[in-house]
Chain A
């Protein structure tokens, strides 16, 4: 079952209220997205941990409902 961009954004924001989230629908099919998440809470975390934190926020939907999510996590400049 695919997800909408706003559902993805809402799930990420629920865990990372400070985040700037940008979702792009890559293929226009509601199944291939790119997400760019900027949050100060990523500071000090490895890239793997940052992505894992997003996957955790998506509560098991990644790899099931959501097959294709290109993910970019960013620490705001000045925070690291």
Chain B
């Protein structure tokens, strides 16, 4: 396992809900990341974010980790959920609410 994969593994295991994104929740640097944050906020979810623009190793590593070519990427309880399109579909069907607020 590469160093990046180990770090990503730690991040997704120690945070129930974690979004790998471009930029920060206050200043998303891409429309897709912005949309992902809007969905999580709308759900009232508690989440962590990782700004991949600040960390080239994570930025590349996360694509291999999930076998997913784009960012943002959402993980819940260590499981890869999907990118912003899947988040939107699951938000609209109510599935995402259940997933990210199951703890509460």
Contacts and interface: CB of A to CB of B under 8 A. Distances in A.
Given A47-B90, A68-B31, A70-B85, A63 B69 contact: yes
A51 to B, nearest CB: 6
A62 B69 contact: yes
Given A63-B63, A68-B32, A72-B89, A48 B82 contact: yes
Contacts of A47: 82, 86, 89-90
Nearest to B71: A63
A55 B69 contact: yes
Nearest to B84: A70
B61 interface: no
Contact-residue size bin, chain B (C-beta under 8 Å from the other chain): 10 to 19
A50 to B, nearest CB: 9
Interface string A33-57: 0000000000000011001100100
A67 B69 CA distance: 9
A71 interface: yes
B80 interface: yes
Give the interface residue-count category, chain A: 10 to 19
B90 A55 contact: no
A64 B85 CA distance: 18
A67 B83 CA distance: 13
A55 B70 CA distance: 10
Interface of B: 31-32, 63, 67-70, 80-83, 85-86, 89-90
